[in-house]
Chain A
Amino acid sequence: MFDAPEINYLAILPLIIVFGGGLIGCLLEGFLARGQRVRVQLWLTVATLVAALVVLVWLARDNQGITAAGTVTVDGPTLMIQGLVLSLSVIGVLVMSERLGGTTPDAFTQAGVSVPGSHEEAEAVRLGGTTTEIYPLTLLSVGGMMLFPAANDLLLMFIALEILSLPLYVLSGLARRRRLLSQEASLKYFLLGAFSSAFFLFGAVLLYGYAGSMRLDAIADAIGTETGMDGLLVPGILLLASGLLFKVGAVPFHSWTPDVYQGAPTPVTGFMAACTKVAAFGAMLRLFYVGLEAARLDWQPIVAAIAAVTMVVGAVLSIVQTDVKRILAYSSIAHAGFVLTGLVAMQEVGASSTMFYLAAYGFMTIPAFALVALVRSAGSEATHINQWSGLGRRSPWMAAAFSFLLLAFAGIPLTSGFTGKFAVFAAAVANDYAWLAVIGVLASAVTAYIYFKLIVTLYFGDTRSDTAVVAPSALTTFAVVTGVLVTLGLGIAPAPVLELAANAAQFLR
Chain B
Amino acid sequence: MSDMPWLSIMLAVPALGALALVLMPRGFARAREFALGVSLLTFVLALFAGLEFIVGNSKMQLVEEYSWIPQFGVSFALGVDGIALSMIMLSVILVPICLVAAWDDVPADGSRRLQGYVAWILLLEAMMIGVFAATDVFLFYIFFEAMLVPVYFLIGQYGGPDRARAATKFLLYSLLGGLIMLVAVIGLYTVGPGGSDGFLLANLTGLEIGGLTEKLLFLGFFIAFAIKAPMFPVHTWLPHAATEARPATAVLLVGVLDKVGTFGMLRFCLQMFPEASRWATPVVIVLAVTSVIYGALLAIAQKDMMRLIAFTSISHFGFIVLGIFAMTTVSQTGSTLYMVNHGFTTAALFLIAGMLVARRGSRTIADYGGWQRVTPLIAGTLLIAGLSGLSLPGLNAFVSEFLVIVGTFQRYPAAAVLGATGVILAALYILLWYQKIATGPRPEDVASTTRDMTVREKFVVAPLIAAFLVLGFYPKPVIDLLEPAVTTTLQHVGVTDPAPTVTAEGSEG
| Chain A contacts to B: CB under 8 angstroms | 393, 396, 407, 410, 412-414, 418-419, 421-423, 425-426, 429-430, 434, 437-438, 441-442, 444-445, 448-449, 452-453, 455-456, 459-461, 494-495, 498-499, 502
Q: Is B190 at the interface (CB under 8 A from chain A)?
A: yes
A445 in complex: contacting residue of B69, B156, B179, CB < 8 Å: B179
Question: In the assembly, what is the distance between CA of A402 and CA of B215, in Å?
Answer: 40
Judged by a CB distance under 8 angstroms, whether B176 is at the interface is yes
B145 within 8 A of A: yes
B237 at the interface (CB under 8 A from A): no
Selected interface stretch from B97-105, B162-170, B430-438, B451-459: B162-170
Contact A460 B172 (CB under 8 A): no
Query: B172 contacts A412, CB within 8 Å?
Result: no
Bound: A442/B176 CA distance, A: 7
Q: Chain A's nearest CB lies how many Å from the CB of B169? A: 10
CA distance A495 to B183 in the complex (A): 21
Nearest CB to that of A352 among chain B residues?
Answer: B71
Interface size on B, residues (CB 8 A): 34
Least CB distance, A349 to chain B, in whole angstroms = 9
Selected A-B contacts with CB under 8 Å, 13 pairs: A407-B149, A422-B72, A422-B186, A441-B179, A452-B152, A453-B168, A456-B167, A459-B156, A459-B157, A460-B167, A495-B71, A498-B71, A499-B71
Contact A413 B183 (CB under 8 A): no
Would you give the 0/1 interface string for B67-79, flagging 1 where the beta carbon is closer than 8 Å to chain A?
A: 0111110000000
From B148, which residue of chain A is reached at the shortest CB distance? A412
Q: Which residues of A contact B179 (CB under 8 A)?
A: 441-442, 444-445
Alpha-carbon gap, A34 to B168, bound state (A): 52
> Cβ of B145 and Cβ of A445 under 8 Å apart?
no
CB 8 Å contact bits of B127-169 with A (1 = contact, 0 = none): 0000000000000011101101100110011000001100110
B189 within 8 A of A: yes
With a CB–CB cut-off of 8 A, which chain B residues contact A413? Answer: 141-143, 145-146
Chain B interface residues toward A at CB < 8 A: 68-72, 111-112, 141-143, 145-146, 148-149, 152-153, 156-157, 163-164, 167-168, 171-172, 175-176, 179-180, 182-183, 186-187, 189-190
Distance of A429 Cα from B71 Cα, bound (Å): 15
Partner of A429, one of B163, B180, B186: B186
- B77–chain A nearest beta-carbon distance, Å: 15
Interface contact B146-A412, CB-CB below 8 Å: yes
Known A414-B142, A452-B168, A456-B164; 15 more pairs at CB < 8 Å: A410-B175, A421-B182, A425-B183, A426-B72, A430-B190, A434-B183, A434-B187, A441-B182, A449-B168, A452-B152, A452-B171, A459-B156, A460-B163, A494-B69, A495-B70
- Please determine whether B157 and A460 come into contact, CB atoms closer than 8 angstroms: yes
Expressed in whole angstroms, the minimum distance between the Cβ of A45 and any Cβ of chain B is 35
Taken together as a complex, chains A and B put the C-alpha atoms of A333 and B294 apart, in Å, by 43
- A495 in contact with B182 (CB, 8 Å): no
A437 to B175, Cβ gap below 8 A? no
Chain B interface helix/strand/loop/mixed: helix
Residues of A within 8 A of B112 (CB): 396
The majority secondary structure among interface residues of chain A is helix
B149–A412 contact, CB under 8 A? yes
A243 to B186 Cα, complex, angstroms: 33
Partner of A422, one of B68, B182, B187: B182
Q: Is the CB of B149 within 8 A of A438?
A: no
Q: How far is the CA of A426 from the CA of B172 in the complex (A)?
A: 23
Q: Enumerate chain B residues within 8 angstroms of A448, measured Cβ to Cβ.
A: 171-172, 175
10 shortest interchain CB distances as A-B pairs:
A441-B179, A413-B142, A498-B71, A460-B164, A413-B145, A445-B176, A413-B146, A429-B186, A456-B164, A426-B186
Task: Check A438–B168 contact: CB distance below 8 A.
Answer: no
Which B residues are in CB contact (< 8 Å) with A452?
152, 168, 171-172
By a CB distance below 8 angstroms, the chain B residues around A410 are 175
Enumerate chain B residues within 8 angstroms of A422, measured Cβ to Cβ: 72, 182, 186
Q: Which residues of A contact B190 (CB under 8 A)?
A: 426, 429-430
| A437–B172 CB distance below 8 A | no
**Distance of B201 from chain A, by nearest CB (Å):** 18
Q: Are B172 and A445 in contact (CB under 8 A)?
A: yes
| Least Cβ–Cβ distance between B182 and chain A, in angstroms | 6
Whether A449 touches B172, Cβ cut-off 8 Å, given contacts A407-B149, A412-B149, is: yes
What distance in Å separates the Cβ of A60 from its nearest Cβ neighbour in chain B?
Answer: 25
A497 to chain B, nearest CB (A): 10
Chain A residues near B180 (CB-CB < 8 A):
441
With contacts A441-B183, A444-B179, A448-B175 taken as known, whether A414 is within 8 angstroms of B72 at the C-beta atoms is no
Would B69 and A498 count as touching, CB distance under 8 A? yes
Interchain CA distance A69-B418 in the complex, whole Å: 81
Contact for A460 among B149, B156, B187, CB less than 8 A:
B156
In the assembled complex, the Cα of A207 lies from the Cα of B440 at a distance in Å of 90
Query: Which residues of A lie under 8 Å from residue B176 when comparing CB positions?
Result: 445
The interface residues of chain B lying within 8 Å CB-to-CB of A421 are: 182
- Please report the C-alpha to C-alpha distance between residue A460 and residue B160 in the assembled complex, in whole angstroms: 11
Q: How far is the CB of B47 from chain A (nearest CB, A)?
A: 29
Question: What's the minimum C-beta distance from B406 to chain A, rounded to whole angstroms?
Answer: 40
Q: Which of chain B's residues has its CB closest to A457's CB?
A: B164
**A437: contacting residue among B149, B157, B167, B186, CB under 8 A:** B186
Chain B residues with CB under 8 A of A460: 156-157, 163-164, 167
**Among candidates B68, B141, B143, B175, residue contacting A495 with C-beta atoms closer than 8 Å:** B68
CB distance from A412 to the nearest CB of B (A): 6
Contact of B186 among A412, A425, A461, A495 (CB under 8 A): A425
A414 touches B146 (CB 8 A): yes
Question: Which residue of B71, B163, B172 is within 8 Å of A502 (Cβ)?
Answer: B71
Task: Report the bound CA distance from A425 to B185 in whole Å.
Answer: 11
Q: Which residues of chain B have C-beta atoms less than 8 A from A455's C-beta?
A: 156
Shortest CB-to-CB span from A179 to chain B, Å, is: 36
CA distance A456 to B146 in the complex (A): 17
B68: A residues at CB distance < 8 A: 495
- Contact residues in A for B164 (Cβ distance below 8 Å): 456, 460-461
Minimal beta-carbon separation of B20 from chain A (angstroms) = 16
- Which residue of chain A lies nearest to B179 when distances are taken between CB atoms in the complex? A441
B72 touches A437 (CB 8 A): no
Q: Complex formed: what's the CA distance from A418 to B142 in Å?
A: 9
Complex Cα gap A159–B142 (Å) = 44
Cα–Cα, bound, A419→B101 (Å): 37
Q: How far is the CA of A407 from the CA of B146 in the complex (A)?
A: 10
